[in-house]
Amino acid sequence: MQPVRIAPSILSADFSKLGEEVRAIDAAGADWIHIDVMDGHFVPNISFGPAVMKSVRGVTTKPFDVHLMISPVDAYLDAFAEAGADCITVHYEAGPHIHRSLQHIKSLGKRAGIVICPGTPAKMLDYLMDMVDLVLVMSVNPGFGGQSFIPSQLKKISAIRTMIEKSGRAIDLEVDGGVDAEWAKRCIEAGADALVAGTSVFRGGPSQYAANIAALRG
């Protein structure tokens, strides 16, 4: 398994200076830039759209890891691809035809990811493992930052790691929600190789970002 990648969520950044914040987490050692897109429909919050994402695309060469909490999602895939997404991740629960959504992402030349919420079992991925490049396990209910990690998701992470190994494919296993240094360690032990963190990365301001990211790596 490859070394853990850290993907700071810019949802926790200072929006008044978003470009500076993205540069700061890049310099601090972020592997990916995680972009949480919320529509106020699938989740009880609204964040930003492709125009905002595109406005910071030029300040870093790090991959944009785009998590679409949108329903229906298919109509927006092209716009986020054009705005600079490298990986587009969609929710299993957000639409009736997840296979079609994943096909469309692949047709755009992007990495395709699937997200499952805390109440969604790992077995729902059974007939999708041949299509995905990334599986994102939500360890909180999606919609806003600062929530506490749901411990039951560790068992799900382990189950999905087994599924990935059996698939024989190079699939990233990412965890998002309430990930601090202690939960990061447990997620990695369970089989995660990518971690999304918002509050725990951006806490303390830019001078602390490198130490915060290092703490998550363990």
Among this protein's residues, is 36 annotated catalytic? yes
Q: pLDDT band for position 145 (50/70/90)?
A: confident
Q: pLDDT band for position 95 (50/70/90)?
A: confident
pLDDT exceeds cutoff 90 at 212: yes
DSSP letter string, the chain:
-PPPEEEEBGGGS-GGGHHHHHHHHHHTT-SSEEEEEEBSSSSS-B---HHHHHHHHTT--S-EEEEEE-SS-GGGHHHHHHTT-SEEEEEGGG-S-HHHHHHHHHHTT-EEEEEE-TTS-GGGGTTTTTT-SEEEEESS-TT-SSPPP-TTHHHHHHHHHHHHHHHTS--EEEEESS--HHHHHHHHHHT--EEEESHHHHTT-GGGHHHHHHHHH-
Which residue in 133, 172, 176, 193 is the catalytic one?
176
Residue type for position 59: V
Q: pLDDT band for position 137 (50/70/90)?
A: very high
Percent of the chain scored above 90 by pLDDT? 94
Alpha-carbon separation of residue 26 from 32, 45, 100, 209 (angstroms): 8, 26, 33, 10
Which residue in 31, 36, 65, 193 is the catalytic one?
36
